[in-house]
C-alpha cells in the first residue's frame, strides 16, 4: 500500500519489570538486567521499559500494532530491532482492513440513500 506513513508512540509499560524483563536461566544476570531497567525508568527513560505502538496512516485513516515489555536504548535502537518491520506489516494489514470496512459502510450508506 503506497502512501502509507508510519509513526511510533511510546509509553512506559505497566507490566512489572521484575520477573518479566529476562528469563536467561542466570538469576544474577536477570536481576542485574531488571535493576538496570528500573534505574533507567527512575531517570525518566521511557525506552527502558515500554509499550510501543506503530501507527500506519493514509488519507486520514489509521491503524496500529502494539507490543509491550520492550527495553531499547532509544527509538533508533527499536527501529533497528527485530519487531519494527513486523509491527509495520501488522499495522498496514489493520489499516487495509479499516479502509475496507469504511468502503463497505459507505456502500451501504449510499444504497440506503438511494432508496
Summarised one tens digit per residue, pLDDT across range 4-48 is 999 999 999 999 999 999 999 999 999 999 999 999 999 999 999
d(CA 44, CA 29): 23
Residue 31 confidence (pLDDT): 95
Computed on alpha carbons and rounded to an integer, the radius of gyration of the chain in Å comes to 19
Task: Copy the grid coordinates of residue 54.
Answer: 506503530
CB atoms within 10 A of CB 29: 11
Place of cell 542485574: 32
pTM higher than 0.75 for the full model?
yes
What is the number of alpha carbons within 13 Å of residue 52 lying toward its C-beta? 27
115 pLDDT tier (thresholds 50, 70, 90): confident
d(CA 15, CA 105): 37
Helix-, strand-, coil-residue percentages of the chain, each rounded to 5: 50, 25, 30
Amino acid at each position: 500500500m503506497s502512501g502509507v506513513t508510519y509513526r511510533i508512540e511510546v509509553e512506559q509499560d505497566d507490566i512489572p519489570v521484575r520477573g518479566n524483563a529476562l528469563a536467561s536461566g542466570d538469576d544474577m544476570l536477570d536481576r542485574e538486567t531488571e535493576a538496570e531497567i528500573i534505574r533507567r525508568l527512575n531517570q525518566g527513560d521511557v525506552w527502558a521499559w515500554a509499550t510501543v505502538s506503530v501507527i500506519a496512516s493514509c488519507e486520514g485513516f489509521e491503524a496500529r500494532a502494539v507490543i509491550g515489555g520492550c527495553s531499547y536504548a532509544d527509538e533508533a535502537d527499536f527501529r533497528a530491532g527485530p519487531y519494527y518491520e513486523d509491527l509495520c506489516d501488522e499495522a498496514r494489514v489493520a489499516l487495509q482492513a479499516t479502509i475496507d470496512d469504511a468502503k463497505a459502510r459507505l456502500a451501504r450508506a449510499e444504497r440506503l440513500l438511494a432508496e
